[in-house]
Amino acid sequence: MLSVMKIRTKIVLLFSVISTLLLVIFALYVSYFTYDSLQTKFFHRLEENAIIVGDHIVSQKEENKELYIQVKRKYLKQLSEGTDHLLRIVKGSDSLRFKPDLPMPMDFYKDVIRDGAGRYMHKDTAFVAVFFVDSIHQDNLIVVSEGIDEYGHDEQRVLDRTLVTGGCLAILLIIFMSFYFADRLLKPIKDINRDLGKVDIANLDYRLFSKFSNGKDELGVLIANLNSMLNRLDISVQSQQSFIGNASHSLKTPLTIIGGEAELAQNLLPKEHEAYYSLETIAKYADKMELIINNLLQLSRMGFKGEVDNKEILRIDELLYEIYHAEKNIHKDFKLSFDLAQIPEDSDELTVLANPDLFFIAFSNIISNAFKYGNGGQVQIAISCDDKSITIQVFDKGIGIPKKDQPHIFTSFYRASNVGDIYGNGLGLVLAKNIFDLHGAELSLQSAEGQGTLVVVTLPKIVF
C-alpha cells in the first residue's frame, strides 16, 4: 500500500502521523499529571479538615474550638458536598463499634489504625481517614472526611477541553505545513523530472540545472551524475552517428564501382557465358547494398538532429505520381490505383512544406512495401484532407503483418516472421517514420495477417 503511494503523500502521512502521536502523548502526560496533582492537593485538604475535626473532639481546648469554627467556615465552602464521619473504636482492639455506611472495606480501617491515616477513592468521591487516640472519652476515634473535588474536576475538564481543541488545531496546522514542506522538498525533483523530459536524442547537449541545489547536497550530486551521464550519452551517440556516416560514405564509392564494373563486364560477355549470370548477380546485389547504405546514410545524416533543411512547398499528389512512375520503371507488373474521390478541387489544399528528397524516400518505402508484400495485387492510394491536415492511405491486400510482429515493425533491421524470401533489410519503415517525425507528420499502420495492410500518413497542411 505504502509502496504505491506518491512520495509527497508518504511525507505528508509520515509527518502528520508522527506529530499527531507526539501531540497525543504529550496531552495525555499533561492531563494525567494535572489530575494526579489536583487529587493529591484535595487529599491534603481533606486530611487537614479531618485533623482539625478530630483534634477538636479529642482535646476540649478553647483555642482548638476557635480554630475549628474558623476552619469549618473556610473549608466548608469548598467542601460543599463534604461530610465528616466519626467512628469509635473499642479501646485496645481494632474493631469499630458500629459498622459505618461507607464504601471502604474493613481492612482499610485496620490499616488506618496501624498507620495513623489512610486515603480512599470511590468513583468521584475522596475519603481521608485519620486515627486519634482519645484520652478523654472511652473509645478511640477515626475521623473520615469525605468530599468531591468539584473545583478540581472543573479545572481538569477545562484543561482537557483546551488540550483537545488545541491539539486538533495543531494537527490541522501540521497537515497544512506537511503539504507545504513536502511540496518544497519535492520541487527540485519535479524540476529535474520536467527538464529530463525535454531531453531526447535531438538535444543530448542539454544539461540539467537546479536553482534549489547548492551543488553539494544529495540533489546536487544527483544532478551532477545525471549531467555526466548525459555527457557520456551525447559523446557515444555522436561517435556512433559519425561512425555510421563515415562507414556508409566510404563503402558507397567502392560499391558503385563494383556494380558499374560488373554491369560493364556483363555487357561484354555473351549470354551463354558461365560468368554472365554471376556478374548479373554481383551487379544486382551491389545495387541492393547501395540501397541499404543510402538508407543508413540518410538516417545518420538526419542525425536525429530534430530539424530538416531545404524544405520546399510540395504538391503531395504530384510526388506520389512521381514515385509511382519510378516504381513502375523498375517493376513492370506494379499495379496501382489512385482513389481521388475525396481529393479537393483546389490544388493548394494538397501542398505541404517538406524536404522533397526525404519525402520521396519515405513514400517510396511505403509504396514499395505495399508492392513487395502485396502478393502481386493492386495497391490503392487514397488522398483526403480536412482543415488542418492531409491524409494519405496506402492499402494492399497482401501477406499482412502478424500481430506479434506489429509492435516491433519500427525497429531497425526488424522484419516480420512471414516475409519468406521477399527481399528487404528492415530499414525502410524506420527511415520513413523518422522523416515524418521530423516534419511533424504521423505514420500509423493497421494490418491483419493474410488480409493486407493499411498505412496511414497524416501531414500538417500549409496555411496560406
Residue nearest to Mg ion as judged by C-beta position: 428
Q: Which is nearer to Mg ion, 355 or 365 (CB)?
A: 365
The site that binds Mg ion (CB under 5 A) totals a number of residues, namely 3
For helices 274-302 and 218-268, angle between their N-to-C axes, nearest 10 degrees:
150
What are the residues whose beta carbons fall under 8 Å from the beta carbon of 61, sequence distance 6 or more? Answer: none
In the region spanning residues 336 to 365, those forming contacts with ligand ATP, defined by CB under 6 A, are: 365
Given ligand ATP, Mg ion, none, residue 145, with its beta carbon under 5 to 8 Å by kind, binds none
Q: Which positions from 182 to 221 touch Mg ion by CB under 5 A, shown as an x/- string? A: ----------------------------------------
Given ligand ATP, Mg ion, none, residue 356, with its beta carbon under 5 to 8 Å by kind, binds none
11: closest CA among 135, 254, 186, 270? 186
Q: Which is nearer to ligand ATP, 178 or 365 (CB)?
A: 365
Q: Which positions from 385 to 424 touch ligand ATP by CB under 6 A, shown as an x/- string? A: -----------x-xxxx-------x-----xx--x----x
Cell readout for 341 is: 474521390
The site that binds ligand ATP (CB under 6 A) totals a number of residues, namely 21
Given ligand ATP, Mg ion, none, residue 416, with its beta carbon under 5 to 8 Å by kind, binds ligand ATP
Q: Which is nearer to ligand ATP, 95 or 337 (CB)?
A: 337
Q: Which is nearer to ligand ATP, 389 or 425 (CB)?
A: 425
Could you give the CA distance from residue 233 to residue 62 in angstroms, rounded to a whole number? 106
Q: Which is nearer to ligand ATP, 42 or 363 (CB)?
A: 363
For position 302 contacting ligand ATP by CB under 6 A, the verdict is no
For position 369 contacting Mg ion by CB under 5 A, the verdict is yes
Is the distance from CB of 275 to CB of 283 less than 8 angstroms? no
Q: Which positions from 377 to 416 touch Mg ion by CB under 5 A, shown as an x/- string? A: ----------------------------------------
Q: How many residues does the chain have?
A: 464
In the region spanning residues 368 to 387, those forming contacts with ligand ATP, defined by CB under 6 A, are: 369-370, 373
Could you give the CA distance from residue 377 to residue 88 in angstroms, rounded to a whole number? 125
For position 300 contacting ligand ATP by CB under 6 A, the verdict is no
Q: Indicate which single residue of 125, 210, 384, 425 sits in contact with ligand ATP (rule: CB under 6 A).
A: 425
Is the distance from CB of 444 to CB of 406 less than 8 angstroms? no
Q: How far is the CB of 8 from ligand ATP (least distance, A)?
A: 44
Q: How far is the CB of 282 from Mg ion (least distance, A)?
A: 23
369: closest CA among 341, 339, 336, 345? 336
Provide the phi-psi class of 134: left if phi over 0, else alpha when psi is between -120 and 50, else beta.
beta
Cell readout for 68 is: 475549628
Given Mg ion, ligand ATP, none, residue 174, with its beta carbon under 5 to 8 Å by kind, binds none
For position 298 contacting Mg ion by CB under 5 A, the verdict is no
Q: How far is the CB of 386 from ligand ATP (least distance, A)?
A: 25
In the region spanning residues 443 to 462, those forming contacts with ligand ATP, defined by CB under 6 A, are: 453
Given ligand ATP, Mg ion, none, residue 427, with its beta carbon under 5 to 8 Å by kind, binds ligand ATP
Q: Indicate which single residue of 54, 82, 400, 428 sits in contact with Mg ion (rule: CB under 5 A).
A: 428
Edge-first strand listing for the sheet containing 442-448: 336-339, 379-385, 389-396, 452-460, 442-448
For position 434 contacting Mg ion by CB under 5 A, the verdict is no
Q: How far is the CB of 443 from Mg ion (least distance, A)?
A: 13
Residues engaged in binding ligand ATP (CB under 6 A): 365, 369-370, 373, 396, 398-401, 409, 415-416, 419, 424-430, 453
Where on the chain is the footprint of Mg ion (CB under 5 A)? Answer: 365, 369, 428
